[in-house]
Amino acid sequence: MSNPSTRPPGTATAHGSLAVSDWVRRWSHLVPAPGTVLDIACGSGRHTRWFHGRGCAVTAVDRDAAALKDLQDIARIRVADIEAGPWPLPGERFDAVVVTNYLWRPLLSQVAASLAESGVLIYETFAAGNARVGKPSNPDFLLRPGELLQWAAAHGLRVVAYEDGFASDPDRYIQRIVAIRPGAGDTGLRRHPLHGA
């Protein structure tokens, strides 16, 4: 089944034209610069551009070759249908993984596996209830209450921030998380500032 939060190749997307997500902007300070960032289902690359501008080496993955074309000079691009084909970056690990407005549950284990030790996950997507206000409305593509928390715990990630609720402008139900893959010798006492310097 195709994910309605992605789009047919060659078409524009609302989230691709938006400014950087407030959630991504708020937690970007946890991503080391220079560092490596994986932007999954990146669309036209709003977050690819953001992290490139912060001095990171970004790998942008999307199935829309036309959208990725404009990112060639600032990122390593991978055109791939990650829902129907093989994972395009086997064995690679990143200092940060960013996912927004996208959910494909069979891929969630690969998202966790793509985080290097001490790597930062910044994830934000639609949640249960979104059918009341718009698309996506299919429950296959809406996170269940607490789902990101459960998934993070199952993959040994340390949660730094989590929200699950309603946001406006535009109206949407969302769930979002920031989590860290503990590094070797991490006792859980490492400080993760809640705001950038």
Domain 18-180: CATH superfamily, name plus number: Vaccinia Virus protein VP39 (3.40.50.150)
CB under 8 Å to 90, separation ≥6 — which residues?
Answer: none
Q: Once rounded to an integer, what is the mean pLDDT over residues 56-64?
A: 97
Please give the pLDDT value at position 43: 95
Q: Where are the domains of the chain?
A: 18-180
Q: Once rounded to an integer, what is the mean pLDDT over residues 100-122?
A: 96
Q: Report residue 73 as tokens.
A: 């000079």
**Nearest residue to 145 (alpha-carbon basis) of 125, 159, 127, 133:** 127
Please give the pLDDT value at position 64: 96
98 strand-pairing partners: 39, 122
pLDDT bucket at 27, cuts 50 / 70 / 90: very high
Please give the pLDDT value at position 108: 95
**Strand pairing category for 94-100 and 57-62:** unpaired
**H or E stretch at 27:** helix 22-27
Q: Check whether 1 has a pLDDT greater than 90.
A: no
Higher pLDDT pick, 64 / 188: 64
At 103, the amino acid letter reads: L
Please give the pLDDT value at position 111: 96
Please give the pLDDT value at position 129: 93
Please give the pLDDT value at position 33: 87
Q: Once rounded to an integer, what is the mean pLDDT over residues 95-124?
A: 97
Q: Check whether 15 has a pLDDT greater than 90.
A: no
pTM for the full predicted model: 0.86
Burial of 24 (0-12, 13-18, 19+ CB in 10 A): buried
- Do 51 and 96 form a contact (C-beta atoms < 8 A)? yes
Q: What is the DSSP string of 116-185?
A: EEEEEEEEEEEBTTGGGTSS---GGGSBPTTHHHHHHHHTTPEEEEEEEEEETTTTEEEEEEEEEPPPTT
